[in-house]
Amino acid sequence: MNYVLLKDTREMDWPDHPWLPYIPNDWHIAVATLPTGDFTLQGAEDGAVIERKAVSDLLGCMGAGRERFERELQRGRYCGRFIVIVEGNYSDLIAAARGLSINAIIGTLAAWQRRYCPFFFAGDVATAVAFALRFLSQPYNEALDVVRRVQRVQRNTIKELVSA
C-alpha cells in the first residue's frame, strides 16, 4: 500500500530533514499546512497526528516556548490520536537540560501527558520514524478494514436478495 505522508509547512525542509533517509520508497511525501502537529496521513488528517521533537526542541518547549507548545498540545486533543515523538531518550533529555531541574522536567512531562497526550521517547531518529509510520498507518488500515467488512456484508446481502 502506498501512503502519502503530509509534512507541515513549518516543519524543516526535506533536503535537510533527519527523517528523510528513513522514509520507505513506497511512502510519498507532500507538504501541507496542518492545523496542528508536524505529520499526518493524507486522507486521514484527523485520525492520527504526530508532533516531532528533537531533545533540544523539547527542552525549549519547557522553557521560553512553553506557551506556544501548550497551545499545540491543546489543539492536539481534537485529533483522533495525537502523540509527541521525541528523537532521543529520557537520559538525553536530562543530559541536555541546561538550567532546567530534573524535577521541573519530570513534572512538566507528567503534567503534559496527563492533560494532553502521550510522549514517545524513541531513542534515535530511525526508531522515531519507524514508530511514526506505524502510528499513522494503523488507524488508516483499521478504517480500510471496516470499509471492506461493510462492503462484504453489502455484497452478501445483495447476493441473498438476488437469489431469493
Q: How confident is the model at residue 11 (pLDDT cuts 50, 70, 90)?
A: very high
- What is the DSSP code (8-state) at residue 3? E
- Specify the pLDDT at position 144: 62
Statement: residue 94 has pLDDT above 70: yes
The pLDDT tens digits of the residues spanning 32-55 come to 999 999 999 998 888 899 999 999
Beta bridge partners of 154: none
Comparing 44 with 76, which gets the higher pLDDT? 76
Pair 94, 102: CB distance under 8 Å:
yes
The pLDDT tens digits of the residues spanning 113-161 come to 999 999 999 999 999 999 999 999 886 666 666 666 777 777 777 777 7
- What is the DSSP code (8-state) at residue 116? T
Phi, psi of 39 (to 5 degrees): -140, 145
Sequence-distant (6+) residues with CB within 8 A of 51 are 36, 37, 38, 72, 73, 76, 82, 83, 84, 85
Q: Which of 127, 126, 36, 107 is nearest to 74 (CA)?
A: 36
